[in-house]
């Protein structure tokens, strides 16, 4: 309880801050009537810091990177971080999972960062990030160990928080949607004086889930302050408090009542196969982030980013289970209506400290310029966790009766401490405007301590090299080599630690920017990862490590944005991923995905604007299992989303529909005998009042 109180106290000033900013609106409103709203400015995404930790044009980066702006998130009706990446080629999420933000990039589970600092340390049960607190989402595809240390072979997702601004603005929104979703949120920013600015973002949600009896409630408060004493120095402090109360969104529906169900035997997506009192739990997240940028002069600057975080999670799930040697016959009664169930419960306390400090220097020697970056980062992650796993009472899947008492039998508490210290260096060498060569090297010292197990020490050196050419007409071909290294935090369900993952990747492609608001990229990649994590064939809730995985693929992405007119984003990805010793596609990784989302803005009489549009998403079939035993094929599916928004003066009304035509589909089916239902049609209507 003391920990909870401290986390709440850190963000208590947010209420005072909000009142101050709202009061300031009276003084600023008249003076700023002629100022264009920020929403009228389309973010073209021509520069990024995530890929090189320096401000670099996207076309000069010898690696694939996609940027999803907050306007993209709104237009697409994304309610979670996983939703926000559904139109990004190379990214899949294989079904909704409320246990955390888990995405797959180029066949590999991605790493998540927040403001350039690691947020998740492997498969841990953090609250899912709130998209309303983001300014944008950067997706860096491919290994990035040289700059970010331990990370995924597929890539990383960097969430960029909303930050204070010195002009006054903001909004207040109320929204209503499917599953009794009711949400109120606000975002207010402005100057406190000539050198200080502030921002506060807040959200309250009361909602149910698609699965019956389960909640999806949330409270968020994110205050931030920026001090800018001069043009060379900027210091930003960001606080975050978040509390979720939700249940598991994955339902493990038997194959016999889902994909292979005969007429009249299919279980609806809303059917809870667990227990209303057990299949839910609270998650709390408290964070404090300090960001410092200081330029000594025109050729030298320092950056420092530090975050401390504390998280508490309680999670429970009762789910159907059956004999894995005969998964097509899961019933335990002659009438074939009742299945056995198992119980899994988890409670954990996470604590982490992350810091990244770098020095950037620029040198010019005739036609050659150097942009050198050297830095040191450190991560400390501490986990106290306790698990319960065992049997539970059976249930009739067609006529469930809830209320049976199932008491978890808790295993002893385990402790894990992960420490990672990294030294890195990078040089961006430019020859006039014709070529850019990026070279990087990093050394990591990683220490992992688990209860009852010997301390594990890993010393790893990783490398990166990339070349980009400017061949004229804004065409930039590139080629790169990069490496990854990732200790796996957490323990499996038998309290055993995992071996580190390691990967190597080759990538080549071309970027073309014919207009300021248009960017096209085509990329080919070849990635190999060792000690790959796969589901345990004897227990789908457990993970084991098996051999290596090789992923080869092609990605195509096109973005076109004209302010106040047309926006369009299109993507296609073909990915061949195979485990060593197997001649088939990796389990639950589609070979082909494609998407297209477009909006059009019309200016109507009386100063009213209307924006409408929509998107189409295609996910190819997914294989799971081996033909020697059982191979399950998740059918391909195509979904459509829709948008209609009307704005008049300071008011805006927006309606989003996801899975507009209510397509019945499965996001994932497994050889272990279950399917996960895809999200049916959902609506969300929001009314917004802008403060300026």
Q: Are 153 and 423 in contact (CB under 8 A)?
A: no
Q: How far is CA 79 from CA 176, 251, 275, 285, 449, in A?
A: 12, 20, 26, 19, 37
- Dump pLDDT digits (tens) for 614-635: 999 999 999 998 877 889 999 9
Beta strands in 231-367 (DSSP E): 233-246, 253-254, 281-295, 300-321, 338-365
Residues 6+ apart with CB under 8 A from 5: none
| pLDDT score of 682 | 96
* H or E segment and range at residue 122: none
- Opening angle at CA 504, ends 500 and 506, nearest 5: 160
| pLDDT score of 389 | 87
Tokens of 82: 């996983």
| pLDDT score of 33 | 39
- Residue 58, SS3? helix
Question: What single string gives the DSSP state of each residue in 228-246?
Answer: EEETTEEEEEEEEEEEEEE
Stretch 475-483: mean pLDDT, rounded? Answer: 96
* Among 153, 257, 253, 165, residue whose Cα is nearest residue 505: 153
Give the span between the Cα atoms of 190 and 26, in whole angstroms.
Answer: 12
* Among 479, 501, 485, residue whose Cα is nearest residue 442: 485
- Residue 60, SS3? helix
Give the span between the Cα atoms of 392 and 278, in whole angstroms.
Answer: 11
b/e burial code for range 20-55 (CB count within 10 A of at least 16 → b): ebbebbeebeeebeeeeebeeebbbbeebebbbbbe
* Among 339, 344, 422, 318, residue whose Cα is nearest residue 380: 422
- Dump pLDDT digits (tens) for 420-476: 999 999 999 999 999 999 999 999 999 988 887 788 888 999 999 999 999 999 999
- Is residue 506 scored above 80 in pLDDT? yes
- Is residue 495 scored above 50 in pLDDT? yes
Share of the chain above pLDDT 70, in %: 89
Tokens of 576: 């061949």
- Dump pLDDT digits (tens) for 132-175: 999 999 999 998 888 888 778 899 999 999 999 999 999 999 99
| pLDDT score of 23 | 45
| pLDDT score of 450 | 84
Stretch 56-66: mean pLDDT, rounded? Answer: 89
Q: Are 424 and 440 in contact (CB under 8 A)?
A: yes
| pLDDT score of 489 | 57
Side-chain half-sphere of 642: how many Cα atoms within 13 Å? 12
Strand partners, 92: 104
Q: Are 125 and 313 in contact (CB under 8 A)?
A: yes
H-helix segments, 76-209: 81-84, 145-148
Give the span between the Cα atoms of 291 and 197, in whole angstroms.
Answer: 14
- Is residue 5 scored above 60 in pLDDT? no
| pLDDT score of 491 | 58
Give the span between the Cα atoms of 134 and 294, in whole angstroms.
Answer: 24
Instruction: Tell me, rounded to whole angstroms, the distance of Cα 416 from its chain centroid.
Output: 24
| pLDDT score of 51 | 67
Q: Are 217 and 184 in contact (CB under 8 A)?
A: no
- Residue 70, SS3? helix
pLDDT confidence bin for 32, thresholds 50/70/90: very low
* H or E segment and range at residue 451: none
- Residue 589, SS3? coil
* Total count of residues recorded for the chain: 692
List the chain domain ranges.
Answer: 2-690
* Among 518, 599, 597, residue whose Cα is nearest residue 564: 599
* CATH superfamily placement of domain 2-690: TonB-dependent receptor, beta-barrel domain (2.40.170.20)
When the pLDDT of each residue in the chain is averaged and rounded to a whole number, the result is 88
| pLDDT score of 149 | 80
- Is residue 38 scored above 60 in pLDDT? no
* Among 219, 199, 224, residue whose Cα is nearest residue 207: 219
Stretch 170-183: mean pLDDT, rounded? Answer: 97
Q: How far is CA 400 from CA 121, 272, 332, 395, in A?
A: 37, 8, 15, 6
Give the span between the Cα atoms of 64 and 75, in whole angstroms.
Answer: 23
- Is residue 361 scored above 70 in pLDDT? yes
* H or E segment and range at residue 17: helix 13-29
Give the span between the Cα atoms of 425 and 81, in whole angstroms.
Answer: 31
* Among 317, 246, 251, residue whose Cα is nearest residue 284: 246
Tokens of 23: 């009061």
Give the span between the Cα atoms of 590 and 450, in whole angstroms.
Answer: 35
| pLDDT score of 488 | 66
Give the span between the Cα atoms of 94 and 626, in whole angstroms.
Answer: 19
45: left (phi > 0), else alpha (psi -120 to 50), else beta?
left
Strand partners, 158: 113, 138
Give the span between the Cα atoms of 144 and 509, in whole angstroms.
Answer: 17
- Residue 27, SS3? helix
Give the span between the Cα atoms of 552 and 527, in whole angstroms.
Answer: 6
Q: How far is CA 342 from CA 279, 388, 392, in A?
A: 12, 11, 5
Give the span between the Cα atoms of 379 and 118, in whole angstroms.
Answer: 8
Least confident of 50-54, 210-214, 292-296: 50-54
| pLDDT score of 56 | 84
pLDDT confidence bin for 120, thresholds 50/70/90: confident
SS3 content of the chain, % helix, strand, coil (to 5): 10, 55, 35
| pLDDT score of 540 | 58
Q: How far is CA 428 from CA 171, 472, 485, in A?
A: 40, 20, 23
- Is residue 22 scored above 80 in pLDDT? no
| pLDDT score of 16 | 43
Tokens of 337: 């209506």
Least confident of 44-58, 181-195, 363-377, 572-586: 44-58
Give the span between the Cα atoms of 520 and 565, in whole angstroms.
Answer: 19
| pLDDT score of 485 | 83
Give the span between the Cα atoms of 687 and 458, in whole angstroms.
Answer: 52
- Is residue 493 scored above 90 in pLDDT? no
- Is residue 14 scored above 60 in pLDDT? no
In degrees rounded to 5, what are phi and psi of residue 241? -125, 130
Give the span between the Cα atoms of 162 and 467, in whole angstroms.
Answer: 33
- Dump pLDDT digits (tens) for 184-210: 999 999 999 999 999 999 999 999 999
């Amino acid at each position: 309880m003391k920990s909870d109180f401290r986390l709440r106290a850190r963000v208590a000033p947010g209420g005072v801050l909000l009142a101050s900013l709202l009061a300031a609106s009276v003084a600023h409103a008249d003076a700023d009537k002629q100022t264009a709203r920020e929403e009228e400015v389309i973010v073209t995404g021509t520069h990024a810091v995530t890929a090189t930790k320096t401000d670099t044009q996207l076309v000069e980066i010898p690696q694939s990177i996609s940027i999803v702006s907050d306007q993209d998130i709104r237009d697409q009706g994304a309610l979670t971080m996983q939703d926000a990446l559904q139109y990004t080629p190379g990214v899949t999420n294989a079904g909704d999972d409320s246990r955390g933000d888990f995405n797959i990039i180029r066949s590999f589970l991605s790493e998540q960062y927040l403001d350039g600092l690691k947020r998740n340390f492997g498969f841990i049960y953090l609250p899912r990030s709130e998209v309303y607190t983001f300014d944008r989402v950067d997706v860096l595809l491919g290994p990035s160990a040289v700059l970010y240390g331990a990370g995924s072979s597929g890539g990383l997702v960097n969430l960029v928080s909303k930050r204070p601004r010195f002009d006054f603005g903001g909004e207040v929104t109320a929204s209503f949607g499917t599953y009794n979703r009711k949400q109120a949120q606000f975002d207010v920013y402005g100057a406190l004086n000539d050198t200080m600015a502030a921002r506060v973002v807040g959200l309250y949600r009361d909602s149910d889930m698609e699965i019956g009896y389960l909640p999806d409630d949330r409270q968020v408060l994110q205050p931030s302050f920026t001090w800018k004493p001069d043009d060379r120095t900027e210091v930003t402090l960001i606080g975050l408090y978040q509390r979720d109360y939700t249940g598991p969104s994955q339902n493990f529906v038997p194959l016999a009542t889902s994909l292979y169900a005969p007429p009249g035997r299919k279980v609806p997506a809303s059917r809870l196969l667990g227990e209303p009192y057990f299949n839910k739990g609270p998650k709390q997240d408290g964070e404090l982030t300090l960001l410092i940028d200081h330029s000594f002069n025109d050729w030298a600057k320092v950056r420092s980013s530090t975050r401390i975080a504390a998280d508490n999670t309680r999670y429970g799930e009762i789910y159907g289970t059956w004999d894995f040697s005969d998964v097509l016959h899961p019933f335990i009664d002659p009438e074939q209506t009742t299945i056995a169930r198992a119980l899994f419960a988890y409670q954990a306390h996470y604590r982490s400290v992350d810091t990244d400090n770098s020095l950037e220097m620029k040198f010019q020697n005739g036609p050659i310029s150097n942009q050198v970056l050297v830095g040191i980062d450190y991560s400390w992650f501490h986990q106290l966790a306790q698990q319960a796993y065992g049997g539970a009472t059976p249930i009739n899947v067609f006529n469930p009766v809830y209320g049976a008492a199932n008491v978890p039998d808790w295993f002893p508490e385990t402790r894990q401490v992960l420490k990672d210290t990294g030294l890195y260096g990078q040089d961006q060498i430019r020859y006039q405007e014709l070529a850019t060569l990026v070279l990087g090297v990093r050394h990591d010292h990683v220490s992992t301590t688990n209860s009852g197990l010997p301390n594990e020490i890993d010393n790893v050196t990783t490398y990166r090299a990339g070349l980009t050419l400017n061949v004229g007409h804004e065409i930039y071909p590139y080629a790169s080599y990069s490496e990854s290294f990732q200790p796996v935090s957490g323990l499996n369900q038998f309290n055993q630690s995992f071996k580190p993952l390691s990967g190597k990747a080759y990538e080549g492609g071309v970027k073309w920017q014919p207009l300021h608001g248009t960017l096209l990229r085509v990329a080919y990649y070849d990635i190999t990862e060792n000690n790959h994590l796969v589901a345990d064939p004897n227990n789908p809730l457990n993970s084991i490590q098996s051999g290596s995985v090789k992923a080869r693929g092609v990605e195509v992405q096109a973005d076109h944005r004209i302010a106040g007119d047309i926006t369009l984003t299109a993507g296609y990805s073909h990915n061949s991923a195979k485990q060593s010793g197997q001649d088939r596609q990796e389990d639950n990784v589609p070979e082909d995905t494609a998407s297209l989302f477009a909006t059009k803005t019309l200016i109507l009489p009386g100063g009213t604007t209307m924006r409408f549009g929509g998107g189409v998403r295609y996910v190819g079939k997914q294989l799971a299992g081996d033909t020697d035993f059982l191979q399950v094929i998740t059918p391909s599916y195509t979904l459509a989303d829709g948008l209609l928004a009307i704005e008049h003066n300071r008011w805006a009304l927006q309606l989003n529909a996801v899975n507009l035509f209510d397509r019945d589909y499965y996001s994932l089916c497994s050889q272990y005998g279950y399917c996960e239902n895809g999200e049916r049609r959902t609506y969300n209507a929001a009314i917004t009042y802008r403060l300026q």
